[in-house]
Each structure stands twice: as structure tokens, then as C-alpha cells.
Chains A and B, each alone.
Chain A
């Protein structure tokens, strides 16, 4: 609970710092506040998890571990922000404050125990993001992305709310515990409840961006500023997944016969749409957007095969994916600064120009592709073994085919970095990399390798 309060107050404090022109204090204060929130979260770890505030939120290990993950990832992203925000806008404080508000929403979604908090959390998270996506006011792509994101976000909220309402109509409660009791004890489940599940599924699928509800994702990820894209594709996406997992893990398990076929169809479409579209991209940023769709598909494996390992496999997968995304987008910022382009060709010859940066990016790409000894492999392995447990061989084969397609486009970047010559003007404009970037990319790359070699440290947390 301390984390939510700290983050909300911190957001307002940062706004005031912007008002009094204390620009240099913004980053230190924000990071300090994040550290305090992290401390509060870790302090709750050994406490008995009980629903607080009349059953509104619960800080169990699921919520706490994902809160830690989102705070750490936000910290890494903000460290990358130092020169980035000042280069695109004069009002830097707004960035920090909106990111913090969005993070608050993500923490609420991680820890909800009542549909009211799910709804409020998702809204806090998204409304802040609508502004962040469109924050480059004169940039046409940014405008278009903001409008699309807003319309699709509001549209999906409508579905989510209608689903919640139908569940309320069937059960008379918004509380997860109450819904669970209804599903366990009711002799006959009301048809309203089934309708509610389907609409809720639609709404949540929109939020996590899986096919066939994915069409906003590539445009929005492409149009938004790079750092905001990295925040969206890591913190926000992971939080929506936790919301998904908590709902289906606590309430919907007895009805799995009803929703498993729907979810299986969604997963298969998502994997193919995400991977095949990513294959055809010429822009690195857009490739990352499509790859985030396919990763969402892999993460849904844990929900379709719900079990005691689901939470820890999502944690491992989400950690691996977030760290790799932070590296990829951080590298993209540096490359774009030098070459002014987001295409794959911009990475040509990076291995010679910036060996360390190229090495970090290689680790990230291998992790996203799921090559052994990186965190991504452990995540994929856990997801696949989840599904293996339920004997869904067909799905496993399709997933393996898709993983193979994925390797091709991730390695495309690596090949460009090491085996292609860089253009002449890219070498002339070579800029030094600031300390912040070295620290963040270094930490993220080392963590990726560490989790890949000793996965037990992360797997054991949620078992």
C-alpha cells in the first residue's frame, strides 16, 4: 500500500518541481521516490497477505513481485531519459509525472481484488499514456498515434465495463472472492456470466494487444517517442497481464472448458500474425511492436494452462522480455541519434563502431529469440513446459514453429551489426555514449545473462 501512496505523491511533487524550474532535481527526486516505493513493497513481503480497504486491493506475493519488477523497469527507463526528454520538449517535468502516474495505475492493476480497482487502475494507467504518446505536439506521427490509442483504449474500456456489469448482474458482487464463491457454489451458472467472461476477455485482450485486437499496437508503438514505447511495451503490458492472470487464476478456473478454446484460438492467431508481420518490417521500431504482439501470445500460454507454475512463468517471461526491450529501445535511441533512422540499415556496422553497445543489443536479441543461456530461453521453456503439462501438443508445435520464425528477424539485426559495413556519414557523426546508458544497458544485459544461467533465483519466488 505504501508504494501506491508514495508513487502518487511523488507524481505531484515532480509536477511542483517542474513549476519551480528545478529541472536538475527531477531525475534524482524521481529515482529516490522509486527507491522508497521499492522499499515499501519489499517490506510487505513477509506480511500475511489480506485484502485491504474493504477488499479493494491485496498485496500478495504475485502483486508484490510484479510491483517490484515494474518499479525497477521504470527506474531503468527513467535513467535512459536524461538527455532524451530535453531533446524533444521543453516541459520535462510532465514526462516524469505522467510516467509516475501511469506506474501507479500499473501497481493498482497488479494488486486489485475488486473490479472497481481493476477499472480505476487500467484507466489511470491508460489516460496518462494517452498524453505521453501524443506529447510531441507538432509531430504528425505522434498525433496520429495518440488519437488511435485514445479511441481504441476508450473503446476497449467499454467492453471491459460491459463485461464487469454482466458479471455483477449474475453474481451481485465486484469482489474477486465473491465471484469465486459464486463460481464454486452455484448450481447453474447464469448465461449473463458467460457473456461477461467473453466481453471481459475482449477488453483485456485489447489492453494487452493480442490479435485479433492488436491493430492499434504497431501504429501506436511506432508513433510514440521511443522511451514511451519502451514503457508501454514493458510496464503497461506486463501489468495488464497480471490483471488477466489474477482474474482467470482466482475466479475462472472451474469454467476453463468454456474459455480455453476461445483463448487457444486467440493465441494461435496472435503468434502467426505477430511473427509473420514482424518478418516483413523494415523498421526496427515497428519490428519490436510486432514482436511484442507475439510475446503477448507466448505469455498467454501461462493463462491457458493455469496451474501453480503460471505466476512464476509469467514473472520469468515478463522479466526477460522487459529487460531485453529496455536494451533494444535504449540502443535504438543511441543509433537513431547517430544515423537519424529507425530502419534496420541504421544498425549496419555497429559492431565496429560501438562494440559494447552491439554486444548488449546482441544479448537482448538472443534473449527475445529465446536462445539458451539467456533469460528469454528460460521464460520460453517454462511457458512451453506449462502447455506440455496439459498435453496440448498441437499448440506446442505451432509455438515452436513461431519461435523459429522469430529467430530469423531477431538475428537480422545481429547480422546487420556485425557483417555489414556502416555508411560513411554514420561514422562521421559518431557520438559518445553517456554514463547513464552504459549503466542501464550493462545492468540489463548482465541480469539477462544471470537469469539465463541461474534461473532458480527467479523461479523460486512465486512457488
Chain B
């Protein structure tokens, strides 16, 4: 454990923050500009995983385990969310035969 913490600390904290912010921004952009529902879901996972990485980095730097415990909460709940989300996507696909978010525009005004 000590070894891993030292390895994590080998990289300056700012680099982690910038790196994770970039991944997070890629995820946000993906959600906003992609049209395929599966890709949007992948982008959301990217956002959550950048959070996980940042939490682990902060946790290692502070020598405080609660950040790493939080990562497990995030993972578990993200898995639950994805399970429900995929079910919803399958349900939509059965009715529309399409995964394009543009095909879902029945509800307007």
C-alpha cells in the first residue's frame, strides 16, 4: 500500500487535477454533441471515472482513506444506474428500432 501511495505521489497533484478535468470535459462534450444513446452513456461513465481517479489522487495525497471509500460508493451506484439505464435503452429500442436521440422528439411544447 505504502508503495502505491508513493507512486501516486510521484506525479504532482496539479497534473491529476488537470488530467481529470480534461477527461471530465471530454465526457461532458460527448454527452452534449453525440447522438447515439450508447455513446452518451459511455461519456457519462467517462465523467464518473474521472471523478473516481481524482478522488483516489486526493485521497493518496492527504493520506485519508475516506476518499477511496467514496470511490467504491461511486462505482457501486454507477453500476446500478447503468443496469437501469441499459434496460431503459432496450425498452426504447424495442419500440423505435433506433438508438438515435433525435428520434425521441415526440414530447415538445
Residues of A within 8 A of B (CB): 115-116, 119-120, 123, 127, 130-131, 134, 137-138, 140-141, 143-148, 150-151, 154-155, 157-158, 161-162, 164-165, 168-169, 172-174, 192, 218-219, 222-223, 280-281, 286
Contacts and interface: CB of A to CB of B under 8 A. Distances in A.
Nearest to A115: B70
A158 B44 contact: yes
A141 B95 contact: no
Given A158-B48, A173-B66, A174-B66, A148 B104 contact: yes
Interface string B53-71: 0110010001010110110
Interface size class of B (residues with CB under 8 A): 35 or more
Nearest to B64: A172
A285 B69 CA distance: 42
A158 B47 contact: yes
Given A127-B80, A150-B85, A158-B24, A168 B55 contact: yes
B89 interface: yes
A169 B58 CA distance: 6
7 contacts: A131-B88, A144-B104, A150-B84, A151-B41, A168-B58, A168-B67, A173-B64
A155 B77 CA distance: 14
B15 interface: no
A140 B24 CA distance: 32
A173 B96 CA distance: 46
Contacts of A120: 73, 77
A154 B81 contact: yes
B85 A154 contact: yes
A130 B95 contact: no
Contact of A116 (B47, B54, B73): B73
A140 B73 contact: no
Contacts of A146: 88, 91-92
Interface string B79-109: 0110011011101100110000100101111
B74 A130 contact: no
- Interchain residue pairs A-B with the least CB separation, the first 5: A158-B47, A219-B107, A169-B58, A161-B51, A144-B104
Given A134-B91, A151-B40, A162-B47, A169 B17 contact: yes
B80 A144 contact: no
Contacts of B17: 169, 192
Nearest to B16: A169
Given A148-B104, A174-B70, A143 B48 contact: no
A123 B80 contact: yes
Contact of A158 (B51, B89, B101): B51
A144 B31 contact: no
A97 B55 CA distance: 34
Contacts of A141: 106-107
A461 B1 CA distance: 51
Nearest to A133: B88
B106 A119 contact: no
Contacts of A134: 88, 91
Nearest to A137: B91
A169 B47 contact: no
A169 B20 CA distance: 13
A155 B42 CA distance: 11
Given A147-B92, A162-B51, A165-B54, 14 more contacts: A127-B84, A130-B84, A141-B106, A143-B91, A143-B95, A146-B88, A150-B84, A150-B85, A154-B44, A157-B48, A162-B50, A168-B70, A172-B62, A192-B17
